[in-house]
């Protein structure tokens, strides 16, 4: 069961590399939130109310509901609908994404450690690389934010796979990370568009040597 959700998560990452519409980005981020909720619930070590509350807040409340809603609000407000430049970039992104998938699978295969859930590690690494590819290859700030959210989701996925001595501490750290992403989305929504009128990372070039 968990494996099917993990595969679905990988599919969302591949789809993210070929889609060009920002509404799809927001939908995928929301879908990833729901997948992470399912995985986290299935992997709960025991019925601990504090842990359950953290998991529900992190995945359902923030990742599946609030963050996608803010993304939709950003799309409505800034009226940006798709990545700059279509056509060839789709194919290039897909190739880069598949190369990242191959690299993640290879590293996972070579490590082959019994003490670690290697599938989760491989997928988390793929999410990290996918997020970085999105940040580096796309021009608009919105894509960069989605890239960061994807990295966060990968980190969260891996955190559900490891058994640590103090899971509450790990949950607190994840919560702080989510808070940072909401802060970033808030800054984008309320400040950047007002002050700089930028939907493009190229406009952010005043701070340089």
Partner 1 sequence: MIYYLILSVLLAGSAFAATTRRAVNAAGALFYAVQAAFAVWILTGGRFGSASGGFFTYDALGTVFFVLLAVVSLFVFIHSEVYFRDEDIRLYRRYFSLLMLLTTAIAGVYFADNIAVTWIFLEATTLCSAGIIYHRRTAQALEATWKYVFVCSTGIATAYLGILLLCSAADGSLAYSSLAERVASGNPLYMKTAVLLVLCGYSCKMEIFPLYTIGVDANFAAPAPASALISTGLVNAGFIAIFRVYKVMASSEAFEWMRHVLILVGLLSLAIGAMFLRRTNNYKRFLSYSTVENMGIVAIGLGIGGIGVWAALFHVICHTFVKSSLMLQVAVMRHIFNGYRINRIGDYISINRVGAIGFIVGTVVLLAFPPSPLFVSELMILKQIIADGQWWIMAVVLLLLCIVIYSICSRIMRLCYQPNLDEVHDPKCEHWLSWSAMALLAAAMVLGVWQPELLRDVIDQIVTL
The angle that helices 22-42 and 67-78 make with each other, rounded to 10 degrees, is 180
The residue within the footprint of partner 1, chosen from 22, 121, 126, 142 (CB under 8 A), is: 121
> CA 46, CA 57: separation in Å to the nearest integer?
17
Question: Between 46 and 115, whose beta carbon lies closer to partner 1?
Answer: 115
The residue within the footprint of partner 1, chosen from 9, 126, 142, 148 (CB under 8 A), is: 148
Residue 187 lies near partner 1 (rule: CB under 8 A): yes
Q: Which long-range contacts (CB under 8 A, 24 or more apart) does 2-9 make?
A: 2/39, 2/42, 2/43, 3/119, 5/35, 5/38, 5/39, 5/42, 6/39, 6/119, 6/120, 6/123, 6/157, 8/35, 9/35, 9/36, 9/39, 9/123, 9/127, 9/153, 9/157
Q: Least separation, in Å, of the C-beta of 184 and partner 1?
A: 6
Residue 142 lies near partner 1 (rule: CB under 8 A): no
The residue within the footprint of partner 1, chosen from 83, 128, 133, 146 (CB under 8 A), is: 128
Question: Between 64 and 161, whose beta carbon lies closer to partner 1?
Answer: 161
Residue 63 lies near partner 1 (rule: CB under 8 A): no
- x/- mask, partner 1, residues 69-108, rule CB under 8 A, reads --------------------------------------x-
The residue within the footprint of partner 1, chosen from 25, 63, 83, 152 (CB under 8 A), is: 152
């Amino acid at each position: 069961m968990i494996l099917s959700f993990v595969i679905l998560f990988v599919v969302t990452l591949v789809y993210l590399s070929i889609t060009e519409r920002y509404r799809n980005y927001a939908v995928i981020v929301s879908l990833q939130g729901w997948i992470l909720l399912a995985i986290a619930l299935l992997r709960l070590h025991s019925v601990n109310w504090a842990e359950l509350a953290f998991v529900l807040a992190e995945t359902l409340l923030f990742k599946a509901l609030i963050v996608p809603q803010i993304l939709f609000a950003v799309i409505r407000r800034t009226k940006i609908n798709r990545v700059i430049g279509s056509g060839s970039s789709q194919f290039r992104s897909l190739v880069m994404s598949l190369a990242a998938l191959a690299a993640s699978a290879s590293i996972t295969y070579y490590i082959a450690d019994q003490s670690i859930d290697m599938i989760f590690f491989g997928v988390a690494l793929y999410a990290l690389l996918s997020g970085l590819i999105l940040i580096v290859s796309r021009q608009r700030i919105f894509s960069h934010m989605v890239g960061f959210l994807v990295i966060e989701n990968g980190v969260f996925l891996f955190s559900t796979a490891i058994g640590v001595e103090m899971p509450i501490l790990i949950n607190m750290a994840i919560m702080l990370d989510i808070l940072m992403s909401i802060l970033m989305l808030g800054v984008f929504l309320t400040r950047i568009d007002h002050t700089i009128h930028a939907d493009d990372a190229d406009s952010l070039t005043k701070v340089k040597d």
